[in-house]
Structures are given as C-alpha cells and as structure tokens.
Amino acid sequence: MWEAVLYILAAILEGFGSLYLILSLFRMVPSEYLKEIFIANLLVSINTYFFEGTYLSNLSPLFNLLVLFLLLIVVFRVSLIHSFFVAAIGFVICFMLQGALIELFGFFVGVTLSEIRSNDLMRYILQAMSSIMFLILAKIIYRRGYGFTFIPFDLTLKFKITIKNMVVILVSMLAVLLISMMLELQSMFQGLLLLTISLVSLIIVGIRREAAGGFD
C-alpha cells in the first residue's frame, strides 16, 4: 500500500511542476486553479500507477495528454484548436527537459533510463528534481514575460478546416507520437533528437500564430 502511495505522490509532484510550467508558458495563472490542477494530477498519477508494468504503460503519455487537453477546455476555457497546440508543445518541452535531466544523471552518476525506471528511489529523486526544475523555469518565464499570448479564453469547439490549422494538428500529433516512441528507444539521445525536431516545428508554428494573433 505504501509503495502505491509514494508512487502516486511522486507522480503528483512531477505532474504539478509540469502543468505549472505549461500554463506559465502561455501566460496563464496556474496559482488560481490549484484545486483543479491537483485533481487532474491525481487522476493522471493513479492511471500511471495502474498502467505501470503492463502493455498499456506506453499509452500513459497519451492519457496524460488527454487529461491536460480536457483541463484546458473545461477549466481554462481554451478553444479546441488552441488546447491541442498548448497540450502538445507543453508535453514536448517537459519530456525534453526531463530527458536532458536523465542524460545528466547518466553523465554524472552513470545510470541509464532503464535503471532509473526499475529503481523506485532513483525514480522518485528524478521526479522531485524534475518538478523543482519545472517550477523554477515557470517562475522565470512568467516574471520575465516570456511565452505566447495569442491563446483566447473563449470556449468554442469549432475551428476552420484550413491548411494552417491542419498543419498545427499534424505537427502536434507527430509530437505526441514521438513521445510514445521515445519510451521504446534504447538511446535517450535519439529520443531527444526526435523531440528537438518536433519542438522546433511547434515553436515555428507558435511564433507565426503569435504574429497573426492566433489560429482561425
């Protein structure tokens, strides 16, 4: 029982940091929605615990992405197409940051991703360090005014089927697919390289949409 409690608490801590960073990146105020963020993280953490060690474990990122997607729509009232973009780029950034942290673990401590995943203590340490890193970056981003500001807070499930919007959807879906593939790769470097390509594509889309004032 205590093993399950520690697992879920560590996952909640990690998820809280990642959500805080994602929301700050788009100039939202996560501190005003702490209850909703906690509930979303609790659902994600419980799901991750029950998926761990099963053939469904690689689907956990997709479920987590879906929870974030619904959180943006229901709680923050972000439109469908914008929620899709925020969830995709946010997850890619968090996975890349954590991947880089794992690479640092490997360089200084000499452990691999598979060793971290199989050792509870190392996994909890990684999750705690990831959460601290996410929160620090979120504070820096928000205080210095970085991030995107084109996200409209006007709930609508409608969007125009345009080439630009389809590009957003395709690039976002590719990013999510790469996140799932990353869990199967033996080399963290290969995974980070793929995610870097995906992130650059998403940032280019975001910068263009920032200049245009958002998606249609």
Instruction: Name the domain count of the chain.
Output: 1
- The answer to whether residue 99 scores a pLDDT higher than 90 is no
pLDDT tens figures, 138-148: 999 888 888 88
pTM exceeding 0.85: no
Q: What is the pLDDT of residue 216?
A: 54
What integer is the mean pLDDT of 192-204? 76
Q: What is the mean pLDDT of the chain?
A: 78
- In terms of pLDDT, which residue wins out, 132 or 164? 132
Q: What is the pLDDT of residue 140?
A: 92
Q: What is the pLDDT of residue 200?
A: 79
Q: Record the tokens describing residue 68, joined without a space.
A: 């974030």
Q: What is the pLDDT of residue 129?
A: 92
**Domain encompassing residue 198:** 2-212
Range name among 12-21, 94-103, 179-188 with the lowest pLDDT average: 179-188
